[in-house]
Every structure is written in C-alpha cells, then in structure tokens.
C-alpha cells in the first residue's frame, strides 16, 4: 500500500541505529532514511491488499526506515485503522 505520511515517530532503538550502536544486528548505510512508526492516509492499494481502501486513516510501521518520507510503501499486515479520536501525532509514535 502507498501511504501519505501525516505524522511519524522515532523510537530510542532507531536513534541507536543512527549512532551505529546496533550495527551488528541492524546495519545502516548512509545516506539512509529513518523512522519506522507512522500515521497517514492510504493513497493507493495493490491488488492483494485486503481490509483497506484509498482514503483510510491508518497507523503502523515499516521495516524500510522510511517512516519520515512523504509517501511510504507499507505492507498491509503492518497497518491498522487509526481509531477515531486518536490524534495523528500520537498515532505516528505508537
């Protein structure tokens, strides 16, 4: 799915990745994206996506270190619908 990111977060482990402290387990080559957690709106769905449609508000994560990009490709199994009343700024950090 293609998600337009509206809010994103950085977890402590991701800061350690950027510092190189976790290089043995999670090597990073630079330049590199950053951030895994995100909240946004679905703008495109692939043919095998189930349970979501264009325009849905979602939150979740990506393993591609791309949560801070404007648009991110995310596997549908890594997303859930954003609950009503949960601000995007909070959802982007969950």
- pTM of this structure: 0.82
* Overall average pLDDT of the 57-77 stretch: 88
pLDDT on residue 12: 77
Query: Is the pLDDT confidence value at 17 over 80?
Result: no
Phi first, then psi, for residue 60 (nearest 5°) are 165, -150
Distance in Å from the first CA to the final CA of the chain: 19
23-44 pLDDT tens trace: 787 777 666 667 789 999 999 9
Q: Which two tokens mark 16?
A: 């350690």
């Amino acid at each position: 799915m293609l998600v337009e990111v509206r809010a994103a977060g950085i977890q402590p482990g991701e800061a350690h990745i950027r510092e190189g402290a976790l290089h043995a387990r999670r090597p990073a080559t630079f330049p590199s994206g950053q951030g895994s957690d995100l909240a946004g709106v679905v703008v495109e769905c692939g043919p095998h996506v189930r349970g979501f449609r264009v325009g849905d508000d979602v939150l979740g994560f990506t393993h591609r270190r791309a949560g801070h990009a404007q648009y991110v490709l995310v596997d549908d199994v890594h997303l859930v619908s954003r609950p009503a009343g949960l601000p995007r700024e909070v959802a982007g950090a969950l």
